[in-house]
Amino acid sequence: EIMLAFLNLAGPVFIVFYLLWFAGVIYFGNVTFKLALKRGGLLIPKTADDFPFMTVYEKAFLVGGKRRLFEVLLAQLIQDEYVKLDNNVLQVNDKKDPQEINDQSLSMVFDSIKDRIKSGQTDPNQLIFSVIKDTGFITLSQRLLETIEKKGYSINKEEKVKLTLIKVLANIVAILP
């Protein structure tokens, strides 16, 4: 009884103490849950660096889907100077030979955007929406998804719901007296 006397609080002190206790339990529950998932290999990654042994394209696709994949491929084409970007306007660099592109994914995207850029679709944001609907790009995305799943990194929606439910239940159990 004497050891628990400090829990006999009244008024605002009672509310403040138990709100702080509740926040602390939630915080430590989250930390413990994330550590348990990380050790079990189930942590849902949030950044591309959370994925070892994956290509840049696989990481981009897993983190941001088709849009991020296209952005990474376009950035590589710009870096390699096959495409120029000036004031948010894309231009094909005619001085570079597209036959020199060694990467099949880059080559496919370059072929897909080349004609669009020459026909006047030079805004990168508009280009994204048209290219990601191409059958070639969809095939590339499917191939990357299969590779990612073979490496064991893809978590489907059902597993995400289960993990979220476990997390919520763990927090509820932690705050029960």
Residue 102 has phi, psi (to 5 degrees) of: -85, -30
What lies within 8 Å, CB to CB, of 84 at 6+ separation is: 78, 90, 91, 92, 93
Which is more confidently placed, 2 or 140?
140
Do 148 and 62 meet the contact criterion of CB atoms below 8 Å apart? yes
Q: Which residue has the tokens 């709100």?
A: 19
What lies within 8 Å, CB to CB, of 153 at 6+ separation is: 45, 51, 54, 62
State pLDDT tens for residues 64-85. Answer: 888 889 999 999 999 998 988 8
Mean pLDDT of all residues belonging to the chain: 78
Phi/psi region, residue 8 (left: phi>0; alpha: psi -120 to 50; beta: rest), is beta
**What is the distance between the alpha carbons of residues 47 and 124, in angstroms, rounded to a whole number?**
23
State pLDDT tens for residues 123-132. Answer: 888 888 888 8
**What is the distance between the alpha carbons of residues 112 and 116, in angstroms, rounded to a whole number?**
7
pTM: 0.59
